[in-house]
Chains A and B, each alone.
Chain A
């Protein structure tokens, strides 16, 4: 039993090392979907800008997309498939009418997590970009401007039923959209494939908004999980021997 346990421990530890090493070499999938007015533009963030490995498991994506007529979007995100997403998104409505947007940034994660501790935050600024004397940002249909996603499903939301406005020509307002899990992370859902941030809002004509946001899922490191499993096996074995 002892030899078997030792062998399992070594194998699991090696597996953990391999996972970490692989994560540092291959960029994770980090994509976006921009939806507005019944049309959608999507793609890998790296295809619309650049992708850079900035740390053992961290990747930096920055780029811009103006493939949707009348809308220009740019981003700069640091991501880690371990996982977290942190960075900024700015979007400009070039049209003459208010537009509703749903924008998802989704990151593939590794490994899957049964239990998570999560935290997140969003802040932003809104500018009257065309000098009309007004700018308005509202959450669409009373929903949340920021939604943290786990496997595409709701994890947490911020800026629910929100409204921000500018009433001076070429004016700007900054807003803090709040946070969750700060300073102490809160329990989150299981995450098997992806985490993401969804922005859903309506932006007035000719104006621009930027969001800086964070979504972090804290999990025990894979090696610790393995040790925990093995410790559990030892304890279970010990109890059986005592019987």
Chain B
């Protein structure tokens, strides 16, 4: 069998590219970072991390102002490279509560540190409920997108961009659910991938969400070319 030098070069380049893709796809989380800001006041934050596996961590924690006039509680899983799902992912269950007598803004970010390069396919979702624990009409609004998936602080996907929900006194209102799958995103993650919630709650309001965000590195075009060329070789050999 004759081996065309030109084809060899393509194979080599493609293989190198594939190796590069796979090597940098390993989103190795070196930890997680939680931030909460609120118009209510500054608060104290605590988080407990448990190792689930060498590449996965479970976190539970909370943030509250003095006297718990406002609070955020979360349970959050972070997965580095997962050989089963071939993706890095995080999920977040959060509860935000406004115990003050005024409307307050909250921004909560759960981020996992790490790097990844290449093109990505991102998937994710959120669903939630708004509880009005007050004796008057309660309101939940988004301040910007209510939910954002971020690469290095830049939104790659947003949901509930103009949320405005009203709940009668002492009633629960479903926020609804929002899903997206395999959305292509180019670029890289230089520092962290994150989920951010940004919302405004009237006095006595509480909102809870379950949410997930994953990103999957897709092989570079050169790597795909390798597969194609390999297929051609295989085809010729069979003939």
A: residues with CB less than 8 A from B are: 49-50, 52, 54, 60, 62-64, 66, 72-76, 78, 84, 86-88, 90, 92, 94, 119, 121-132, 166, 168-176, 179, 182, 208-214, 216
Contact = CB atoms under 8 A, between A and B. Distances in A.
Nearest to A122: B172
B206 A212 contact: yes
B97 A170 contact: no
Contacts of B36: none
A155 B206 CA distance: 25
B45 to A, nearest CB: 13
B82 interface: yes
Contact of A212 (B74, B176, B179, B208): B208
Contacts of B68: 50, 52, 54, 60, 62
Given A125-B129, A125-B177, A170-B89, A208 B62 contact: no
Contacts of B91: 92, 127, 129-130, 170, 208
Contacts of B62: 49-50, 62-64, 74
A210 B178 contact: no
B213 A170 contact: yes
B178 A176 contact: no
B71 A62 contact: yes
B77 A171 contact: no
B104 interface: no
A127 B211 contact: yes
B211 to A, nearest CB: 7
Contact of B95 (A88, A166, A182, A209): A88
24 contacts: A49-B62, A54-B69, A62-B73, A64-B60, A66-B60, A74-B62, A76-B71, A76-B97, A88-B131, A92-B75, A94-B77, A119-B170, A121-B171, A122-B172, A125-B126, A128-B212, A169-B214, A172-B127, A172-B210, A208-B75, A209-B210, A210-B210, A214-B172, A216-B170
A209 to B, nearest CB: 7
B173 interface: yes
A54 B66 CA distance: 12
Given A87-B133, A172-B178, A129 B212 contact: yes
Interface string B74-111: 11010100101101010101010101000000000000
